[in-house]
Amino acid sequence: MASFFGWLRSNSEHYLLVAAHQKLARTLGSPPPRPPKGLKELFWLRVFAPVYALLPWPVRSRIMRAMPGSHRQTWAPPPRSRGPAV
């Protein structure tokens, strides 16, 4: 099971970054990535990345948190700002 999530994570991480590079190339005028080649790249860039982009962040975040990993163990909550020191 871990290897399925590993496969999902490494592919989604890679192709979402490529999609982000495409977007930044349009907005910042930076060099674009090379166009996708083959069915695998077309699927991840033309199907997966746009569908992922349509989901609102809370939904995406919930899906990511549902994957197995260290984040599902006990971790101290982020620090909260306290009152004045003096």
Partner 1 sequence: MIGGGAAGLGAAGGVKAADPGAEVIVYTEFEDVAYSPCGIPYVHGGEIPDFERLFLAGKQAYVDAGIDVRYETAVTAIDPAAHTVTVAGEGAVRYDSLVIATGWNYADPGVPGGDLSGLYYVKNIRKAMEWDKVISETKAAVVVEAGPLGLEMVTALAHRGVETHLIDPNPYALSMMADPDIMAPVEESWRELGVHLHFNTTLEEFLGDADGKVRAVRTSGGEITADLVVISTHKTPETALAKAAGLDLGSTGAIIVDERMKTSAPDVWAAGDVVEIPHGLTRTPLQGLTGSHAYAQGKTAGTNAGGGDRAYRAVYVPWGTPAGKWVIGGASFGEATATALGIPYVKGEAQGISRARYYPGVQPVKVKLLAEPGTLRLIGAQMIGGGEGIKERADFLAQAIRFGMTLHDLSTMENVYSPAIGALNEPIVVAATNGVAAAKAK
Q: Which residues bind partner 1 (CB under 8 A)?
A: 2, 5-6, 8-9, 13, 16-21, 23-25, 28, 30-34, 52-53, 55, 57, 60-61, 64-65, 67-76, 78-81
Nearer to partner 1, 40 or 60 (CB): 60
Amino acid at site 49: A
Nearer to partner 1, 78 or 84 (CB): 78
d(CA 27, CA 15): 18
The minimum distance between CB 51 and partner 1, in angstroms, equals: 11
Burial class (CB in 10 A: 0-12, 13-18, 19+), 18: middle
Residues with Cβ within 8 Å of 30's Cβ and at least 6 positions away in sequence, in order, are 21, 24
Quick count: other Cβ atoms within 10 Å of Cβ 41?
15
The minimum distance between CB 56 and partner 1, in angstroms, equals: 9
Nearer to partner 1, 2 or 39 (CB): 2
The minimum distance between CB 60 and partner 1, in angstroms, equals: 6
